[in-house]
Amino acid sequence: MDLPADSSEPSGEQPGPGLRADAERNRERILAAARRLYAGHGLDVSMACIAREAGVGKATLSRRFATREELINAVFADRMDAYAAAVAEALADPDPWHGFTGYVQAVCAMQAADRGFAEVLAMTFPAAKALEKRRAEAYHSFLDLIARAKATGHLRNDFTDQDMVILLMANAGVIAASQDAAPDTWRRLVGQMLRAYATPGADLPPLEPAPTPTALYRAMVRLTRSAPGPEGSKG
């Protein structure tokens, strides 16, 4: 459900210092609101809902961010920088296998900390040029990390970069389903997947305990009953 346009918004704005300051304040309010909503509800939050959370009209939101992709690009630029930095840190590790396992854990932890970013890493946004450029840079560094980890003999030769994409997609789903009832479930998933990627005898981080049957049942009930995020649509 969309909200009615804010009829109090001025029309025929004239440029000036005051207007520029107001425009910047509105932009920051919109970004802060979008970060909160995306982090808690994922990307299925409508632009109208973000405008309401920010306390601005839909017309103001449209002037600052003409499309959903533009807003996503602005909201997640810093997180994509952190994502790229995680690859660089892994490549700097003198033990490539340790760097690989640390990278997988770090990126999945980023997903767990922000549901919106969990979805961003599992999707692609061709219109968000800066976001996709940073993703591409991180991807090429990850290919280097894979090659180095395989050279240690600890990463299976049949592991491919597509396996990481599959993990990110699976992790996003686990986070969305279990974040309230069993919020650490993703750690178990990542630990088990690292064991699937490793060759026999490879050093691995301790495996996190499995969630209790009760917690998993509650997560399954929540998933069954859950409705779309605020306002439902992405428009």
Q: Higher-confidence residue: 227 or 22?
A: 22
Helix boundaries (H) for the chain: 17-41, 47-54, 58-64, 68-75, 77-92, 96-113, 115-121, 129-151, 161-178, 185-197, 213-225
Q: Environment class of residue 49 by beta-carbon count within 10 Å: exposed (0-12), middle (13-18) or buried (19+)?
A: buried
Task: Give residue limits of the domains in the chain.
Answer: 17-75, 77-177+190-205
Q: Higher-confidence residue: 3 or 31?
A: 31
For residue 235, give both structure tokens. Answer: 């428009």
Q: What percent of the chain has pLDDT over 70?
A: 88
The winner for highest mean pLDDT among 24-28, 174-178, 179-183, 202-206 is: 202-206
Could you say which architecture CATH assigns to the domain 77-177+190-205? Orthogonal Bundle (1.10)
pLDDT at 2: 41
Per-residue pLDDT tens for 47-56?
999 999 999 9
CATH number of 17-75: 1.10.10.60
